[in-house]
Structure 1
Amino acid sequence: MSFDSREFRNALGRFPTGVCVITTTPEGGKPMGMTVNSFAALSLEPALVLWSIQTNSECYAVFEKAKGFTVNVLSEEQVDVSNAYAKKGDHDLKEGEFRLGKSGQPVLKGAITSFECTMSAQHDGGDHVIIVGEVIEMDNSPTGRPLVFHSGKYEQLR
């Protein structure tokens, strides 16, 4: 490898991504969420999506055991929500900021799209695990603009 990991990370950051909060309720625990920008569509038939989590993340054990989760695509007005669930040690969902979806998983209020998923598969991805979910419920707002992350900062679509 002729480049260091920081250079690689900076190069990856040149690709704009949407910002999501992945939510779940651990068995016997409180609803929680974490901010990610690794979300992607995988398949239409069946309806599959994916995202990844670093294996040393403090949330890893929760999602490794989760039976389901919700991908909440944030709107450009939800920078504060993104920042709140990106903080270490503070992943409990705040009362009034979510509802329970049809699947029983927490769904963030104000998200422009939410995909309620059952856990379909987990795959080794180096220092990450790739999590695949089968979408069983969806709430898609016809309006709203997505929160975008590019080169280490939030951006707006023009």
Structure 2
Amino acid sequence: MNPPRKAQPPSFSAREFRAALGMFATGVTIVTARTAQGELVGLTANSFNSVSLDPPLVLWSLARAAGSLPAFSTGSHYAINILAADQKDLAERFALKGADRWGGVGFAEGAGGAPLLAGAAASFECYNRSRYEEGDHVIFVGEVERCTHRGGASPLLFHGGRFFTEHAL
């Protein structure tokens, strides 16, 4: 028996799919880069995941319609900043369209000029290794050149459309 050549059409709406995805709790990141012209680029993303320990690889995804897609697609490096629990305001600011995202934000310059946000729980400085177009998003795979983390920092979490902090069970 041959397997089907194509997935069956979904039996759910986009709204139902989004609600189901929201049941998966994630951390919150801000992915940052600097364009060839020196412009700072950054956005809030929770589509971050580890891929490989050897070599050290991580992934994240970005909507094809995002205005920052050209900057992330053509740049050599980006940084993934895992937000700490006290950085909720920063997560919201970098999620807004048309907002002044960088005003008053402290950062250090990482690989390729990618900003490393002050106060982040962890950061990954990534070489822009590969990209895969799937559906309405582009999946970015970064090869981690450097990483840091703050021991004892509580991460900012996202679940069901709301922000949370960690609580040990």
Residue 43 (str. 1) matches residue 49 (str. 2): no
The 3 A distance-change label for structure 1 pair 102 and 3 is closer
Residue 95 of structure 1 and its aligned partner are, at CA, apart by: 4.6
* Secondary structure in 2 matching 1:42: strand
Q: Which structure 2 residues correspond to residues 125-136 of structure 1 after superposition, within 5 A?
A: 125-136=134-145
Task: Name the TM-score, length of structure 1 as normaliser.
Answer: 0.95
Rg comparison, structure with higher value = 2
CA distance in 2, matches of 1:88, 1:104: 23
Identity rate of aligned residues, in percent? 39
Q: Which structure 2 residues correspond to residues 7-156 of structure 1 after superposition, within 5 A?
A: 7-90=16-99, 92-101=101-110, 103-156=112-165
CA distance in 1, matches of 2:41, 2:139: 19
Residue 31 of structure 1 and its aligned partner are, at CA, apart by: 1.6
CA distance in 1, matches of 2:112, 2:133: 27
Residue 101 of structure 1 and its aligned partner are, at CA, apart by: 2.2
CA distance in 2, matches of 1:46, 1:67: 18
CA distance in 1, matches of 2:11, 2:111: 49
CA distance in 2, matches of 1:156, 1:102: 29
CA distance in 2, matches of 1:137, 1:90: 29
Residue 103 of structure 1 and its aligned partner are, at CA, apart by: 4.8
Aligned-partner residue type, residue 29 of structure 2 = C
* Structure 2: gaps of 5 or more residues: 1-9
CA distance in 1, matches of 2:94, 2:41: 9
CA contact 1:103–1:137 (8 Å) conserved in 2 = no
CA contact 1:75–1:110 (8 Å) conserved in 2 = yes
CA contact 2:48–2:58 (8 Å) conserved in 1 = yes
CA contact 2:25–2:159 (8 Å) conserved in 1 = yes
Say what the alpha-carbon RMSD is for the aligned residues: 1.3
Residue 102 of structure 1 and its aligned partner are, at CA, apart by: 5.0
CA distance in 2, matches of 1:86, 1:37: 11
The 3 A distance-change label for structure 1 pair 28 and 102 is closer
CA distance in 1, matches of 2:85, 2:21: 21
Task: Name the TM-score, length of structure 2 as normaliser.
Answer: 0.89
